[in-house]
Structure 1
């Protein structure tokens, strides 16, 4: 539905976007994820019509989007600040875009009522934004965006102004609404959990380039670059070189680590033996065992942090500057200072090229 091909945007000496190419399908919930300043909002503004790229093309259903002014594009943009009119009621805020199009009054009324019911704000139609909670204001902004029935809805950090509890509720609400109204959503966020919980697919940005596009599970379990492995969720990273099969198993490989010798992982793709590489293993894939257990790396517990349903245990290994993070269900059964071992299965660790 939306094709972005080789889009580049420079601001003086700074390259905000460097030959970015993406394809977004009809009805998809697509996330642009990355740290501040990586170019994701610039790309959103180009699609919306507020920025013009220095090179590349953007098409929607095969039509050149860049040739159309912002007000002629079948796109709605929901701003991070919501940008509601404080002197208007909820119903008037939602109706504003339709009234500007000079649609019949009865049609405007009907569409506003329908969308307010969809977002659960029918009872608040006569209130003003100042009389609403943060979550309710977010719903008004969303209602105002979808009432015009755009082909594409762009959301710029839509949940950043909400507290953690409301944000979690609104993530579910956004996903429900997207399925209900059938509009393609493209959301910009720096929050990994938000992107993972909302999106059908995620594009990870870094320094103006797309590092990986994948579904949330694949992105989390099989990162293809050190940046993605480090940025998306917590990861334990071990540098080294590519070795041969682990214990004679052709389905696995080893990383000859700089400090700990051979470490098991999944076979690297198109990496020659001896090439510099990085092994990444998630905290929940690391097993905490007795110090003398076979195949384990020996260390001592540095800290135990309890987060309700899960505990994070930091294990200090001689020769490693950063502790290994282990995630276990419930309360941790070890104390700081305890001597332990850590190990993992080869299938749960990913070996990738060290340099991108």
Structure 2
């Protein structure tokens, strides 16, 4: 549906986007994920029409978007600040875009009523934004965006202004609404959990380039570059050289078991990544594993994080176990994992 082909954008000496190419399908919930300053918001503004790229094409159903003014594009943009009119009621805020198009009053009332029911705000139609909670204001902004029935809805950090519990509720609400209204959603976020819980596919950005595009599970379990492995979720990273199909050879620890994502030449620099929940802690007397001592145990309700200092490794190894941990700080342990639970990738990606 949406095709972005070789889009580049510079601001002086700063390269915001460097030949970015993406394809987004009809009805997809697509996330642009990356740290601040990586170019994801610039791309969103180009799609919306608020920025002009230096090179590249953007098409929607084969039609060139770059030739159209922002108000002529079948696209809605939901701002991070929501940008609601404080002097207008909820119903008036939602109806504003339709009234600007001079649609018949009866049609405006009908469409506003339908969308307010969809987002669960029918009872609040007469209230003003100041009388609403943060989550309710977010739903008003969403209703205003979808009432015009755009082909594409762009969301710029839509949940960043909400507290943690409301954000979790609104993630579910956004996903439900997206399926219900059938509009293609493109969301910009720097929050990995938000992207993983919302999106059908995620594009990970770094310094104006796309490092990987994948479904959340594949992105988490099979990162294809050191940046993605380190940025998406917690990971334990070990450097070494490729050594056949069964692992890498580390100067500090010898052979470390893992599964290569691609064929790597023997002796090539490689990185092994293993998730905390794949780490197993055993007694120091175990024959296999890396010896270390427990630095800290943190309990988060459903899961405990255990930091283990392994001599020769730059950062503590992080393990995650369900529930409360029986391991105490200061305990001598060994950390180990199975080869199929660790991925190996080239360093120069």
Normalised by the length of structure 1, the TM-score is 0.97
Supply the distance in 2 between the matched residues of 1:293 and 1:5 (Cα, whole angstroms).
54
Q: Provide the residue aligned with 2:248 in structure 1.
A: 255
**1:52: how far off?**
0.1
Secondary structure at the counterpart of residue 36 of structure 2: coil
Contact 2:78/2:142, CA 8 A, preserved across alignment: yes
Supply the distance in 2 between the matched residues of 1:311 and 1:355 (Cα, whole angstroms).
33
1:78 aligns with 2:71: no
Contact 2:241/2:248, CA 8 A, preserved across alignment: yes
**1:137-173 CA distances to partner (integer Å, 9 max, x unpaired)?**
0000000000000000000000000000000000000
* Unaligned stretches of 5+ residues in structure 1: 246-252
1:277 aligns with 2:270: yes
- Comparing 236-245 with 97-106, which one deviates more in the overlay? 236-245
**1:268: how far off?**
4.0
Supply the distance in 1 between the matched residues of 2:200 and 2:96 (Cα, whole angstroms).
31
Secondary structure at the counterpart of residue 305 of structure 1: strand
- Comparing 56-65 with 315-324, which one deviates more in the overlay? 315-324
1:286 aligns with 2:279: yes
Supply the distance in 2 between the matched residues of 1:354 and 1:293 (Cα, whole angstroms).
31
1:298 aligns with 2:291: yes
Supply the distance in 1 between the matched residues of 2:181 and 2:237 (Cα, whole angstroms).
42
The correspondence for 1:326, drawn from 319, 322, 334, is 319
Q: Provide the residue aligned with 1:227 in structure 2.
A: 227
Supply the distance in 2 between the matched residues of 1:299 and 1:270 (Cα, whole angstroms).
32
Contact 2:222/2:261, CA 8 A, preserved across alignment: no
1:342 aligns with 2:335: yes
Q: Provide the residue aligned with 1:147 in structure 2.
A: 147
Supply the distance in 2 between the matched residues of 1:59 and 1:268 (Cα, whole angstroms).
33
Contact 2:224/2:261, CA 8 A, preserved across alignment: no
**1:258: how far off?**
2.6
Supply the distance in 2 between the matched residues of 1:241 and 1:141 (Cα, whole angstroms).
51
**1:294: how far off?**
2.3
The correspondence for 1:352, drawn from 336, 345, 348, is 345
1:206 aligns with 2:199: no
Supply the distance in 1 between the matched residues of 2:122 and 2:7 (Cα, whole angstroms).
41
Supply the distance in 2 between the matched residues of 1:10 and 1:231 (Cα, whole angstroms).
24
Q: Provide the residue aligned with 1:37 in structure 2.
A: 37
1:109/1:289 Cα in 2 relative to 1: closer, same or farther (>3 Å)?
same
Supply the distance in 2 between the matched residues of 1:324 and 1:104 (Cα, whole angstroms).
64
Q: Provide the residue aligned with 2:120 in structure 1.
A: 120
Supply the distance in 2 between the matched residues of 1:25 and 1:8 (Cα, whole angstroms).
22
Secondary structure at the counterpart of residue 3 of structure 2: strand
Supply the distance in 1 between the matched residues of 2:100 and 2:239 (Cα, whole angstroms).
59
* Unaligned stretches of 5+ residues in structure 2: none
Q: Provide the residue aligned with 2:241 in structure 1.
A: 241
Q: Provide the residue aligned with 2:168 in structure 1.
A: 168
Normalised by the length of structure 2, the TM-score is 0.99
Contact 2:33/2:195, CA 8 A, preserved across alignment: yes
Supply the distance in 2 between the matched residues of 1:322 and 1:238 (Cα, whole angstroms).
10
The correspondence for 1:267, drawn from 260, 263, 278, is 260
**1:270: how far off?**
2.7
Aligned residue pairs, count: 349
**1:50: how far off?**
0.1
